[in-house]
A and B are shown apart, each in its own frame.
Chain A
Amino acid sequence: MPVLEVRHVSKNFGAIQALTDVSFQVERGEVVGLMGDNGAGKSTIVKTVAGNFPPNDGEIVVDGEVCHFHKPVQARAKGIEVVYQDLALADNLTAAQNVFLGREMKKGFWPIRVLDKQAMVDRSAALFKELKSETRPRDLVRKMSGGQRQAVAIARTRLSNAKLVLMDEPTAAISVRQVAEVLELIRRLKAQGVGVMLISHRMPDVFAVADRIIVLRRGSKVADKQTDNTSPEEITGLITGAIRGE
């Protein structure tokens, strides 16, 4: 059973048709690259699956269950985690504090329920170790490199044992060495059986990690190809419209 199935999803914002009858699926432990030009509908797909808004038409199926999300929290409860483009980290907090933001571990009994800081630091350290990242739980995010920030954002998704992780442009705006680090993190998620949807502009990064590539053009799916059976040239053609899709 696929971990995520998008069935005939359409979405419009007033007169703008953002998505038209888009269908695809993501299996466990599969990395799917989602590509397309600006305005092709990539972000709309992400936001629909992540529960920021419901589709006008069609349905989102998670693990065989039809879901109607109205808030990101609901999607998260079903095991869908998102790594946002700007990472959604609070700079003034530490790595561990960011990992547990919104779902802090507590101890004691009401009315004195206090943060279990040590447990959160330990758990974060374990997650960073699992991701083979050099991030330290007590460091402030403000002082971290781009790669370390990505690790914090990704560690957050590991907290709940997510089934599907959506990553929005994780390799934009970071250095070459850090890109390698992030791609390694994605491989590690895959190895743990997590489905990954990678939204990216950067062709080499997608080809480096994706098993399958889906191309969107003007709100419609124009291609869904195994990475082994395609080439960057073909994908570029599909994105720009030089090659007609399905």
Chain B
Amino acid sequence: MSDFVPTKEKTGLQRVVSSQPFWVTIALIALVMLMTAMEPSFGTSENVANVTRNFAPFGLMALGMTVVIITGGIDLSVGSIMGLVAIVAGLFLTWHYPWYVAFAVGLFSGLACGAVNGFFVAYVGMPSFVVTLGMLSVARSLAVVFSANQMLYQFGPDAPIVKAIGQARWPLHGPQDWAPHWIPGLSSQFWTMVVLALIVGFVFNFTAWARHLFAIGGNEEAARLTGVPVDWIKFEAYVFSAFTASLASLLLLGYNGSAINAMGQGYELRVIAATVIGGASLMGGAGTAFGAIIGSAFLEVIRNALLMAGIDSNWQGAFVGAFIVLAVLLGMQTGGRSLLAASLAALMPKRSR
């Protein structure tokens, strides 16, 4: 602890420039501009619709993951919860229940998984890594058992509605619609993500609940001593994460028009990667809704760009891994400045005389 007293409060702009999501956004814009210039098929509205649809489920889950990671925890079970939710909803559809009943039961099963996670982490006090690792295994296994290891696709009378929800687009192209062809028809997944991101962003910035969430990540004992309902908020965080996984699962179920028990396999690591690239700290206490979305978008754009550039898809993992490390390196704080700003200052010292 030093006697160092900063002479000035940081201005809003300085705070933005020293944040990790800012640099990732810059990198994303640069990447998009580069690809648009080099690859004519990249900038087409069709590809934009594609890319935004592909990362939307990850963005959705990254929002939930961010909430959990802010508390200093982690949720490894989101991929498996997706699988279970899809199978449960799929089963009810094949049994000819109306779509809303199937979706509600699917959602309920996902929330139940989240509640089990939250109970063991918050009230029993077990490490989140262990609890959600257990749930990763249990939920996937249940999905396989319930589905009898079959793909479900004979969805009964409500199949068209389910499909319409998953494949809905806005704005629409066509002679009777207003949108010109260069505006991409964005998917329902994307719009759901945008709405949820706005809600989460609002909550993070303007509610006492989020204050308490961040305080738990910063100093859980302090939060407890000041009367913050720590256990309840941690419980809610895991339920919210499961909620985002369920939502992503139901939208994908609709888009695919079928349910497989392998849905979401391995997604948890991509979601965590997106969250970390977006500036959430695995130590807890830091994270933004914007960062979660940008991180997910960044991963998908890299994937898409490599594909379009004709690079062997087996290279994707190497690039994604390198970018995870690079993004966190850029956002690392050294003496209140981002590492990038600090190294720029070291390379080009200001002349003083």
A72 to B227, CA, bound (A): 8
Q: What are the residues of chain A within 8 A of B225 when measuring CB–CB?
A: 72, 82, 84, 88
B302 to chain A, nearest CB (A): 29
Contacts of B207 in A (CB 8 A): 113-115
Q: Encode B206-241 as 1/0 by CB contact (under 8 A) with A.
A: 111001101101110111011110000000000000
Query: In the complex, are the beta carbons of B212 and A92 less than 8 A apart?
Result: no
Tell yes or no: B177 within 8 A of A by CB: no
Is there an interface contact between A174 and B1, defined as CB atoms closer than 8 Å? yes
A89–B224 alpha-carbon span in the complex (Å) = 11
B18-38 vs A, CB cutoff 8 Å, 1 = contact: the mask equals 000000000000000000000
Q: Does B3 have its Cβ within 8 Å of any Cβ on chain A?
A: yes
B9 within 8 Å of A (CB atoms): yes
Q: Are B208 and A93 in contact (CB under 8 A)?
A: no
Q: Is B219's CB under 8 angstroms from A138's CB?
A: no
Contact B1 A101 (CB under 8 A): no
A136 in contact (CB, < 8 A): yes
Q: How far is the CB of B24 from chain A (nearest CB, A)?
A: 20
Residue of B217, B226, B336 near A88 (CB, 8 A) is: B226
Q: Is A102 an interface residue (CB 8 A)?
A: yes
Does the CB pair B218–A93 fall under 8 Å? yes
Q: Is B4 close to A, CB under 8 A? A: yes
Mostly, the B contact residues are loop
B13 to chain A, nearest CB (A): 14
Q: Is B122 an interface residue (CB 8 A)?
A: no
Option from B226, B286, B336 in Cβ contact (under 8 Å) with A101: B226
Chain A residue at smallest Cβ distance from B3 = A145
B147 to chain A, nearest CB (A): 39
Q: Which residues from chain B contact A148 at a C-beta distance below 8 Å?
A: 5
**Do the beta carbons of A102 and B223 come within 8 Å of each other?**
yes
| Nearest chain B CB to A145 CB, angstrom units | 5
Q: Quick one: given A91-B218, A92-B214, are A76 and B2 in contact (CB under 8 Å)?
A: no
Is the C-beta of A90 less than 8 angstroms from some C-beta in chain B? Answer: yes
A94 closest partner in B (C-beta): B9
Given known contacts A102-B226, A102-B227, is B208 in contact with A91 (CB within 8 Å)?
A: no
Complex CA gap A242/B208 in Å reads 53
Task: Please state if A93 and B3 are interface contacts (CB–CB under 8 Å).
Answer: no
Residues of A within 8 A of B214 (CB): 90, 92-93
Contact with B along A85-129 (1 / 0, CB 8 A): 011111111000100011110100000011100000000000000
CA distance A176 to B6 in the complex (A): 20
Instruction: Determine which residue in A92, A143, A146, A156 has the highest number of CB atoms from chain B within 10 A of its CB, and name it.
Output: A92
Task: Say if the beta carbon of A130 comes within 8 Å of chain B.
Answer: no
A113 to chain B minimum Cβ distance, whole angstroms, is 7
Q: A134 to chain B: which residues have CB within 8 Å?
A: 5
Q: A65: CB under 8 A from chain B?
A: no
Within the complex, which residue of B5, B9, B206, B285 is in contact with A92, where a contact is CB–CB below 8 Å? B285
B3 x A175 contact (CB < 8 A): yes
Most buried by B among A86, A93, A102, A143: A102
Chain B contacts of A89 at CB under 8 A? 219, 222
Knowing A92-B285, A97-B211, A139-B6, the reply to whether A103 touches B206 (Cβ < 8 A) is no
CB distance from B287 to the nearest CB of A (A): 10
- Alpha-carbon distance between A146 and B214 when the two chains are bound, in angstroms: 22
User: A84 CA to B225 CA in the complex, in Å?
Assistant: 9
A73 interfacial contact with B, CB 8 Å: yes
* Cross-chain contact B3 with A101 (CB below 8 angstroms): no
The yes or no answer to A178 lying at the interface (CB within 8 A) is yes
Q: List 18 A-B contacts (CB under 8 A).
A: A72-B227, A76-B227, A84-B222, A84-B225, A88-B222, A90-B217, A91-B219, A101-B212, A102-B212, A102-B226, A103-B226, A134-B5, A136-B9, A139-B6, A143-B336, A145-B4, A173-B1, A175-B3
Hey, which bits of chain B sit against chain A, CB under 8 A?
1-6, 9, 206-208, 211-212, 214-215, 217-219, 221-223, 225-228, 285-286, 336
**4 closest cross-chain pairs (CB), A and B:** A90-B218, A102-B226, A88-B222, A92-B285
